[in-house]
Amino acid sequence: MPDFQPILTLFNLAGQHPPAIPQAAHLVAYGQQLSSLRSLPGVKIEAESSEVCIAAHITIAAGVRLDQPVHLCFGMFEQHGEQDVHLTLTLEPGAQAELWSHCLFATPQAARHAMHGEFRLMEGAVLRYQEAHFHGTSGNIEVIPCAQVLLEKAARFHADFSLIRGRVGLLDMDYRVDVGEAGVAELLSRAYGFATDAIRIREQVELNGPGARGLLKTRVAVRGHAHADVCGIMEGNAAGARGHIDCMEVVRDQATASAEPQVRVCHPQAKITHEAAIGSVDSKQLETLMARGVTPDEAVDLIVRGMLA
Amino acid sequence: MRGLPAQLRSNEKSKRASAMEPLLKLVGVQLTLQGRRVLEDVDLSLDAGQIHALLGANAAGKSSLAYAVMGCEGYQPDAGQIMFDGLCIDALPVHERARLGITLAWQEPARFEGLSVRDYLRIGAHGASVEECLLKVGLEPTEYALRAVDKTLSGGERKRIELAAVLAMCPRLVILDEPTAGIDLLSLDALIDLIEALKAGGSSVLLITHQSEVAAHADQASLLSEGRIVCQGKTPDMLEIYRRRKPLRC
């Protein structure tokens, strides 16, 4: 029977209420060490660890619809360390699942957490993937999430990445999604940078199948001397492909930000739109809250927290 | 809109002040925006516990006057004074004016991604229940309390939520900037009930409108034309002048 106390401690240190991990299909790892994994009927989880990485393979069987999320919990107790995760995830035809990845790095002074994901969603499969990071205040955490996602016919992928608790440190994110016929990809990324944090988000959605649809939504706030670069790329390569890029960045203090939405259309019946806004908080929003007695700083915080919620 | 939240305070202080001086007093206020004079030598008085309608055509300067009273960025008067309860508030930022008891319901209220209606109504609230305030503006709490105050709401819904937020605040002075704009005509009676209820609860109302039916419920009215107050007096008299649209000389 694995000891779940350490992961519960990490959740507590991050100020988070821990989910019911022991009963759920899960994989728990500290640093490069596997702590626990559990498969359930229809959910096969295999993993092995070495000095250099954790390699995990998750398969959701055809037609299986999971009532409870699959939990991936990654954390670290040491003050310094690395964690490199290679994750292969397959949803067989018609499978539907929710996968929550909790990355708990409230304790380390300096750490590097890299994820290399290869996700394949077969025909009609649906995946809701939520990756939430919880950091401390050191600012020396490097987070490098990369994923290649393949959506086959009518598959749906909804991703929600957040790093809004604690200092970001360095975030260098790179997601690429290949969307097949009638597939849907929706990616939401949220980050809040302070002090000297650096945020780089690169997401690319290729709408390659007829009727494929995509949404890239990014919400980033930076303050202090933090910097954010957001690059969203959407390609419409087939008839009836519809895509949209929606990027909003709020900048305060001496922080800086850039947004680079790239729209590429290679088929006359495809359509991609985009909107991007960078700047300080909208003055009307600010004054609306101030007219309720809220100070300017509190108002900005409310607006930014709402945007990142 | 059925009565006021039980918690709406009576504003006894306002009532005491009314015997001595107006709750809101503008003296010779002049405002210039982008080189254009939008308010010129404006004098206006609003007694505590009263509804005062500010009438005027589009671009007369009504909203600019509202923003100047609220202290919005860029609307600081070039000359004159704005007094609230005997205190000159010219130097106070918006939130400090709000803490004195002044608030503003915008003509086109801002939208907030990720902020729920419930949380929005709790900001600056003084004990009034969110559910009760939503019911007062004709919105079902179970349907609206958890929705975001964002672009998924229609203009009318957003406007009602703004009015509910005003109710929750129990302000001493509320400036309603064109409260009928964006709300369907069927809601007009309900809106009038709400304004009356605010008054009954001790709030004073500066009602900015160009709609006579709503203004008719005010105790006093002023007519604003090209940035100047041209008439001030009993509402029926002011409405008569406003309707006839005669040369605005009193």
Residue A292 and residue B73: Cβ atoms within 8 Å? no
Task: State the pLDDT at residue B20.
Answer: 67
B66 neighbors B60 (Cβ within 8 angstroms): no
Residue-wise pLDDT tens digits, B72-101:
999 999 999 999 999 999 999 999 999 999
Question: B94 — contact with chain A (CB < 8 Å)?
Answer: yes
B216 neighbors B228 (Cβ within 8 angstroms): no
CA distance B212 to chain A (A): 27
Task: State the pLDDT at residue A21.
Answer: 87
Task: State the pLDDT at residue B2.
Answer: 40
Average pLDDT over residues A90-94: 98
What's the CA dihedral at A56, A9, A302, B166 to 10 degrees? 120
pLDDT at residue B250 greater than cutoff 60: no
The DSSP result for A205-273, as a single string, is EEE-STT-EEEEEEEEEE-TT-EEEEEEEEEE-STT-EEEEEEEEEE-TT-EEEEEEEEEE-STT-EEE
Break chain A into its structural domains and give their ranges.
5-282
Task: State the pLDDT at residue A62.
Answer: 98
Higher-pLDDT residue of A40, A51: A40
Give B155's pLDDT tier (boundaries 50, 70, 90).
confident
Residue A293 and residue B165: Cβ atoms within 8 Å? no
Average pLDDT, chain A: 94
Element (DSSP H or E) covering residue A298: helix A296-308
Cα nearest neighbour of B173 on chain A: A291
Cα nearest neighbour of A300 on chain B: B112
Task: State the pLDDT at residue B19.
Answer: 53
Give the nearest partner residue to A306 out of B72, B95, B114, using CB atoms: B114
pLDDT at residue A135 greater than cutoff 80: yes
The residues, ordered by sequence, that sit 6+ positions from A1 with a Cβ below 8 Å of its Cβ are none
Instruction: List the Cα angle A97/A99/A103 in 5-degree steps.
Output: 180
Task: State the pLDDT at residue B80.
Answer: 97
Task: State the pLDDT at residue B44.
Answer: 96
% pLDDT > 70, chain A: 100
Task: State the pLDDT at residue B201.
Answer: 85
Average pLDDT over residues B127-137: 90
Q: How far is residue B155 from each of residues B53, B64, B145, measured CA to CA in Å? A: 23, 21, 17
Task: State the pLDDT at residue B1.
Answer: 43
SS (H, E, C) chain B: CCCCCCCCCCCHHHHHHHCCCCCEEEEEEEEEECCEEEEEEEEEEECCCCEEEEECCCCCCHHHHHHHHHCCCCCCCCEEEEEECCEECCCCCHHHHHHHCEEEECCCCCCCCCCEHHHHHHCCCCCCCHHHHHHHCCCCHHHHCCCECCCCCCHHHHHHHHHHHHHHHCCCEEEEECCCCCCCHHHHHHHHHHHHHHHHCCCEEEEEECCHHHHCCCCEEEEEECCEEEEEEEHHHHHHHHHHCCCCCC
CA distance A43 to chain B (A): 34
> Which range, of A69-78, B9-18, B223-232, averages the lowest pLDDT?
B9-18
> Which range, of A58-67, A193-202, B156-165, averages the lowest pLDDT?
B156-165
Task: State the pLDDT at residue A59.
Answer: 98
Q: A with B: how many residue pairs have Cβ under 8 Å apart?
A: 65
Task: State the pLDDT at residue B7.
Answer: 37
pLDDT at residue B5 greater than cutoff 70: no
Task: State the pLDDT at residue A16.
Answer: 81
% pLDDT > 70, chain B: 88
Residue-wise pLDDT tens digits, B190-243:
888 889 889 988 999 999 998 888 899 999 999 999 999 999 999 999 999 888
Preferred mutation among A285, A287, A294, A303 to probe B, highest tally of B CBs within 10 A: A287
Question: A283 — contact with chain B (CB < 8 Å)?
Answer: yes
Average pLDDT over residues A230-249: 96
Task: State the pLDDT at residue B126.
Answer: 84
Give B181's pLDDT tier (boundaries 50, 70, 90).
confident
- Alpha-carbon gap, residue B10 to B13, rounded angstroms: 8
Task: State the pLDDT at residue B13.
Answer: 45
Q: Is B110 exposed, middle or buried (0-12, 13-18, 19+ CB in 10 A)?
A: middle
Cα nearest neighbour of B98 on chain A: A293
Task: State the pLDDT at residue B17.
Answer: 46
Cα nearest neighbour of A303 on chain B: B112
% pLDDT > 90, chain A: 84
Task: State the pLDDT at residue B184.
Answer: 65
The residues, ordered by sequence, that sit 6+ positions from A301 with a Cβ below 8 Å of its Cβ are none
